[in-house]
Structure 1
Amino acid sequence: MENNTKDIVNKYGFKFTKSLGQNFLIDDSVLRDIVAGAEVANEDFVIEIGPGVGTLTKELLKKAKKVLAIELDSDLIPILQEELKEYDNFEIINKDVLKVDFEELLKDEDPVKLVANLPYYVTTPIIASLLKGKYKFKSLTIMIQKEVGERIAAEPNNKDYGSLSLLVQYYCDVRTIRKVSPSSFIPKPKVDSIVVRLDKLDKPRVEVKDEELFFKIIRASFNMRRKTLWNGLKSLGFDKNIIEKAFENSNIDNKRRGETLSIEEFGNLANSIKDLL
């Protein structure tokens, strides 16, 4: 495979665009682990974001019912169409993934799995958009920057624990498939990578009365990591009496910092505030 990716790049004289965060996979073992980790089966409708020259796409096409790839770089579209022309279960969309209407795209498809080597400069917005959109993905198997992967999987009282950890864990179970070194790509990125699988839960991990408020409280609690929860909530403009009562009702010490709270505690705090508003 290593030569295959390089050969395709050379064959078409493709020039990498740094601003699009293009790093193409050339390591066969990583490719196998992504496909195996995603557990793609012949009844699956697979969405791939950023297919590059189609190396991973080709392996997915051999196993899935259909693969729909979303690629922003229009220079890659004719390459993908030519390289994958033998597969009648392949479709490509030339679009920014953040502007795709997944509701329309997925329609009656089920089960749906997302598999992607996400562009690192826009990883967090993509993950947030896919999870908050409540689309019917069964799982998301994604290669991302190692540092982001560690934040996603982090637990309370850990320096990596924050808003992203809570967002992902609210909607999904998280497991790490493998780490990936820069030498597995062309061109080599400056950071290590990691493949993680996010399995969507049937319902969110905690029951909250107002999701928008829940995430607003989480963001405020981590905006100033060294500050107390009290200061975080005060920044949202809540009445002092409401804040005091909410801490009392949820049995949480207002001198604690956000990084010490579990997702259940954040849920209780958000619900207490909602009841008092």
Structure 2
Amino acid sequence: LPVLEETLADFDNVKIVPGDIMKIDVAALLRQEFGGLPVAVCANLPYYITSPILMLLLESRLPLTSITVMVQKEAAQRLCAQVGTREAGAITVGVHYYGEARQLFPVSRGSFMPAPNVDSAVIRIDLHENPHPEGLDEGFFFRMVKAGFSQRRKTLANSLASLLGIPKQAVYDALEQAGLAPAARIEQLTMEQLFALARILQSA
């Protein structure tokens, strides 16, 4: 902080707010500093808590238009992966639920001194104005996604039956109704297929 205060002393359009992003009331801070104006986030995230910070920003329904962050290269690939491919995970679905993510450019480890042991990349997430799909129980949707990806080697019927307590036959029926194979795994499903399955299962 003393270094930042010194190096940024000549800029009257910068304000340093020390704190832990996971503990601070971000919504109150944005209201105080920007008075309801739309906000763009730009950050160099601590790599070990990339996913928790991103989900905090996304789930809090803050007045954000975009999030541009530098993350570890492998995390960038996962965050920007196409839902329905092997590279995608639960965090990929979460990001694509709230916005559209894309990689902007790579950042080699040689760009830093001392050089870290990993390469990085800068990504941008442009947020949807209204991310909540019609007729979808958002809480159930994310429970289904987390359950499926926590046992991604199992079929959806097995993982949802064991982790969410949904009768296996009910999952089979929902898969058939959604036009999906009985042995489908969650990593094979697109966002629209995930939405369709969740709409059917949420009332099972």
Structure 1-normalised TM-score?
Answer: 0.68
Q: CA RMSD in A?
A: 1.6
Match of residue 85, structure 2, among 158, 173, 179: 158
Inter-CA distance 173–214: structure 2 relative to 1 (3 Å threshold): same
Secondary structure of the 1:202 match is coil
1:1-277 counterparts in 2 under 5 A?
Answer: 77-107=1-31, 108-204=35-131, 206-235=133-162, 236-276=164-204
Q: Deviations over 1:46-94 (max 9, x none)?
A: xxxxxxxxxxxxxxxxxxxxxxxxxxxxxxx121112111222221122
Secondary structure of the 2:53 match is helix
| Aligned-residue offset at 1:240 | 3.5
Structure 2-normalised TM-score?
Answer: 0.91
| Aligned-residue offset at 1:247 | 2.2
Which letter maps to 1:244? Y
User: Deviation above 4 Å: which 4+ runs of structure 1?
Assistant: none
Secondary structure of the 2:122 match is strand
| Aligned-residue offset at 1:156 | 4.1
Unpaired segments ≥5 residues, structure 1: 1-76
| Aligned-residue offset at 1:138 | 0.6
Q: Deviations over 1:138-159 (max 9, x none)?
A: 1011000010110011124533
Which letter maps to 2:50? T
| Aligned-residue offset at 1:249 | 2.8
CA distance in 1, matches of 2:182, 2:71: 35
CA distance in 2, matches of 1:205, 1:263: 13
Which letter maps to 1:216? R
CA distance in 2, matches of 1:233, 1:253: 15
Q: Which is higher, the Rg of structure 1 or of structure 2?
A: 1
Secondary structure of the 1:82 match is helix
| Aligned-residue offset at 1:253 | 2.0
Give the count of matched residue pairs.
200
| Aligned-residue offset at 1:170 | 0.7
Contact 1:150 1:160 in 2 (8 A): yes
CA distance in 1, matches of 2:124, 2:138: 24
CA distance in 1, matches of 2:135, 2:23: 28
CA distance in 2, matches of 1:156, 1:184: 31
Q: Report the counterpart of residue 30 of structure 1 in structure 2.
A: none
Percent sequence identity over aligned pairs: 38
Which letter maps to 1:215? F
Unpaired segments ≥5 residues, structure 2: none
Inter-CA distance 146–205: structure 2 relative to 1 (3 Å threshold): farther
